């Protein structure tokens, strides 16, 4: 019985060797390393932000800077309508924007993997109907669906997160289903079945570990689109109006007339921050894809 | 060579049989599209009718309302009917083209949608044509010489632009070319579709609308063309290994002729499907661009509905957007079958 659960190890190279080989192959991709560097830099900045940014610099009532001023001494990126430093806002915004992106991705991945695993494992009526549901969701336009969902759920980070997850799980589900079918065709699954492993055991202990690397790759790309979606939904006014995210900065700039005032210093930084983080996740995702799938080389 | 290209009698017969499969094929795709539309209606109904804790409260938000008035509104909205009855009424109304009544505009949603459809189609159509042309051209050239300097520049430019939020690019273009920064003068109008002080017909109107169209259209093209570059580049690279290109080269054709007459037509197939699917997505992509430029289309209508939030209007635009995506997907399937014999043979 116990032998069955460890069956895959007998067929494959030990996992830590594979991981070392993966790291060496990844290190040869400059674009992937650059993406990783960008992400690490932003991650560190977001984590240490509370050490040097306090409520006095973020609270609209407590700040005393010049209002909507271009870059001057002490405010290297200028200020917003309330006199807050745009630089500090962008750094603070990284916390919320990244966490919404990552939490939404986690939800997406859990939902998508569950549907994909079930659809791949139960290939009869259950699997087919699950795939039908997936196809229907693919046919729905994601932005209007997300807008509708968060409009009904009410303003706030939670409803935006849910809306992103509900509209983006389909890609993961399809991927996981395809991979589940491939894994279940391998002999060790047959062996586990013969030895009496149940459906849950096969899915969780045998299929999931083999599908996991693929899920992780696809999730780096999902984070990129989740961050873009967060910015878009917040810009449309669906976010929490009191929190500072890159999307809410742009929304405040737009609603507060920064565009007509020509306040480019207020508009550029949040957008460039989004660009850098999305590009970072995309580059990392593509590099990992290249390493794991040699057929992609040259593209 | 000739034996490979000239269709033998057996093949002609085979094709004849396949052609008669066309109607069942179209039928099954049409049924699938109708089922998708029905599912859209279910989802729209669930989101807008079942999820809000109390639509009456949302409707009367911020206004003092007596219990009797609340009860009257409930009866008017049919909220006390059983769920399935409300759903059937909703489906019936939608099929009749009645999408409900906007709280904010005090007008039927269908007439609002009809008013705003034209501007959206104009913006999207122009943006689609330009981005497809630009994207395919760049994709073909990048794929054909992949790894070259041209390819690296085109690929990284499209990757970068793809990572940019559309509405942000819109605002940046707006500040740069409409408000004007530093030495750049104000070149284009900031929003709307036409200047109300100019005559609304004739050449002046056309030129005026064109001037208003430049910035929103440019914004959409810059973000959307990247997808076509990627798809076209990949399919050109896929084709490049094919033996028929070697044959074409062996005949002594120039590199240019091989690319144009042999590689591109074959590589276009996947792109065509993608184009139709993206057209559907483009509709919703217009939401933020129209919001930034107050372009009086469906996207701006959605944006206006969101501020209230005007739930019947949001529901109506959601159904219209979904329907357009479903129609585009159906067209993609049909066109793909006409273009690609391999699909026909399946």
| Least confident interval from B1-10, B32-41, B178-187, B284-293 | B1-10
Nearest to A271 among B160, B172, B318 (CB): B172
Distance CA B263, CA B256 (A): 10
**Beta-carbon separation of B36 and A139 below 8 A:** yes
pLDDT along chain A (299 residues), means of 10: 43 66 86 92 90 77 75 78 84 92 94 93 89 85 88 88 92 90 87 86 86 84 91 91 90 88 88 94 88 58
| Percentage of residues of chain B with pLDDT beyond 90 | 26
Distances B204 to A242, B198, B209, B216 between C-alpha atoms, Å: 45, 7, 9, 20
The mean pLDDT value for B167-191 works out to: 84
CB-CB neighbors (< 8 A) of B44 in chain A: 148
Q: Which residue of A has its CA nearest to B277?
A: A139
CATH number of B107-344: 1.10.3720.10
Task: Look at residue B2 in the predicted model and tell me its pLDDT.
Answer: 36
Distance CA B230, CA A120 (A): 29
B40, B49, B175, B290, best to mutate vs chain A, most A CBs in 10 Å: B175
pLDDT at B34 over 60: yes
Instruction: Summarize pLDDT for A39-94 with one digit per residue, the tens.
Output: 999 999 989 888 888 777 777 777 777 777 778 777 778 788 777 888 888 999 99
**Beta-carbon separation of A232 and B280 below 8 A:** no
The mean pLDDT value for B317-344 works out to: 81
Domains of chain A listed by start with CATH number: 100-294 (1.10.3720.10)
Cβ(A169)–Cβ(B335) under 8 Å?
no
Instruction: Summarize pLDDT for B129-171 with one digit per residue, the tens.
Output: 999 999 999 999 998 888 899 999 998 898 888 889 999 999 9
**Beta-carbon separation of A253 and B171 below 8 A:** yes
ipTM of the complex: 0.85
Task: Look at residue B12 in the predicted model and tell me its pLDDT.
Answer: 39
Maximum C-alpha span of chain A: 74
CB-CB neighbors (< 8 A) of A142 in chain B: 284
**Beta-carbon separation of B175 and A136 below 8 A:** no
Q: Find tokens 């229907």 and name the residue.
A: A136
pLDDT at B269 over 70: yes
Handedness of CA B211, B213, B215, B217 (dihedral sign): negative
Dig out the tokens for B135 from the structure. Answer: 């994207």
Task: Look at residue A109 in the predicted model and tell me its pLDDT.
Answer: 94
**Beta-carbon separation of B171 and A143 below 8 A:** no
**Beta-carbon separation of B318 and A262 below 8 A:** no
B38, B163, B216, B277, best to mutate vs chain A, most A CBs in 10 Å: B163
**Beta-carbon separation of A140 and B190 below 8 A:** no
Task: Look at residue B119 in the predicted model and tell me its pLDDT.
Answer: 93
CB-CB neighbors (< 8 A) of B40 in chain A: 136, 139-140
Half-sphere exposure of B1 (CA within 13 A, CB side): 6
* pLDDT top residue among B2 and B153: B153
Closest-CA distance of chain A to residue B6, Å = 34
Q: Could you tell me the pTM of the whole model?
A: 0.85
Instruction: Summarize pLDDT for B52-103 with one digit per residue, the tens.
Output: 656 666 666 656 667 777 777 777 766 667 788 888 888 888 888 888 888 8
| Percentage of residues of chain A with pLDDT beyond 90 | 32
Nearest to B303 among A236, A259, A298 (CB): A236
Task: Look at residue B13 in the predicted model and tell me its pLDDT.
Answer: 41
Instruction: Summarize pLDDT for B4-28 with one digit per residue, the tens.
Output: 333 333 433 444 445 557 788 888 8
């Amino acid at each position: 019985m116990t032998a069955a659960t460890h069956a895959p190890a007998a067929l494959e190279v030990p996992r830590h060797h594979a991981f070392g080989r993966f790291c060496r192959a990844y290190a040869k991709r400059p674009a992937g390393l650059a993406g990783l560097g960008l992400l690490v830099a932003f991650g560190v900045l977001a984590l240490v932000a509370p050490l040097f940014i306090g409520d006095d610099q973020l609270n609209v009532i407590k700040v005393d800077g010049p209002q909507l001023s271009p870059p001057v001494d002490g405010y290297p990126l200028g200020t917003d309508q309330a006199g807050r430093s745009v630089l500090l806002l962008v750094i603070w915004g990284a916390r919320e924007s990244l966490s919404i992106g990552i939490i939404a991705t986690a939800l997406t991945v859990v939902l998508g993997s569950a549907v994909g695993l079930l659809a791949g494992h139960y290939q009869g009526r259950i699997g087919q109907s699950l795939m039908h549901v997936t196809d229907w969701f693919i046919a729905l336009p994601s932005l209007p669906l997300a807008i509708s969902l968060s409009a009904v759920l009410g303003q706030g980070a939670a409803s935006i997160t849910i809306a992103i997850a509900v509209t983006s799980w389909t890609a993961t589900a399809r991927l996981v289903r395809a991979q589940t079918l491939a894994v279940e065709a391998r002999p060790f699954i047959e062996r586990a079945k013969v030895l009496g492993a149940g459906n849950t055991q096969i899915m969780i202990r045998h299929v999931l570990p083999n599908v996991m690397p693929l899920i992780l790759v696809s999730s780096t790309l999902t984070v990129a689109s989740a961050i873009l979606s967060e910015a878009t939904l917040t810009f449309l006014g669906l976010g929490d109006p009191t929190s500072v995210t890159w999307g809410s900065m742009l929304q405040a700039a737009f609603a507060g007339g920064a565009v007509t005032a020509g306040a480019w210093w207020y508009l550029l930084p949040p957008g460039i921050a989004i660009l850098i983080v999305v590009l970072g996740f995309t580059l990392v995702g593509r590099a990992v894809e290249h390493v794991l799938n040699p057929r992609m080389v040259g593209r | 060579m000739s034996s490979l290209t000239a269709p033998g009698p057996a093949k002609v017969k085979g094709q004849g049989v396949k052609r008669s499969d066309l109607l069942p094929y179209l039928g099954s795709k049409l049924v699938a599209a109708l089922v998708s539309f029905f599912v859209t209606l279910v989802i729209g109904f669930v989101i807008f009718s079942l999820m809000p804790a109390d639509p009456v409260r949302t409707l009367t938000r911020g206004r003092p309302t007596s219990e009797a008035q609340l009860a009257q509104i409930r009866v008017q909205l049919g909220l006390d009917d059983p769920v399935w009855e409300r759903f059937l009424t909703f489906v019936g109304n939608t099929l009749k083209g009645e999408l409900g009544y906007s709280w904010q505009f005090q007008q039927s949603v269908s007439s609002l949608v009809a008013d705003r459809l034209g501007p959206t189609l104009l913006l999207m159509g122009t943006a689609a044509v330009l981005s497809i042309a630009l994207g395919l051209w760049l994709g073909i050239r990048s794929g054909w010489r992949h790894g070259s300097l041209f390819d690296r520049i085109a690929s990284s430019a499209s990757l970068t632009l793809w990572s940019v939020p559309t509405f942000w690019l819109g605002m940046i273009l707006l500040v740069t070319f409409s408000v004007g920064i530093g030495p750049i003068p104000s070149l284009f109008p900031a929003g709307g579709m036409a200047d109300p002080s100019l005559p609304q017909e004739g050449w002046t109107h056309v030129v005026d609308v064109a001037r208003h169209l430049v910035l929103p259209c440019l914004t959409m093209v810059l973000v959307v063309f990247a997808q076509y570059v990627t798809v076209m580049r990949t399919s050109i690279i896929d084709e490049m290994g094919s033996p028929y290109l070697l044959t074409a080269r062996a005949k002594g054709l120039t590199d240019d002729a091989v690319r144009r007459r042999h590689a591109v037509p074959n590589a276009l197939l996947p792109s065509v499907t993608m184009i139709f699917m993206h057209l559907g997505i483009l509709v919703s992509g217009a939401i933020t661009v129209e919001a930034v430029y107050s372009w009086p289309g469906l996207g701006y209508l959605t944006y206006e509905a969101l501020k209230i939030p005007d739930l019947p209007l949001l529901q109506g635009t959601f159904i219209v957007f979904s329907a357009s995506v479903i129609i585009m997907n159906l067209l993609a399937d049909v066109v793909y079958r006409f273009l690609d014999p391999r699909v026909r043979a399946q």
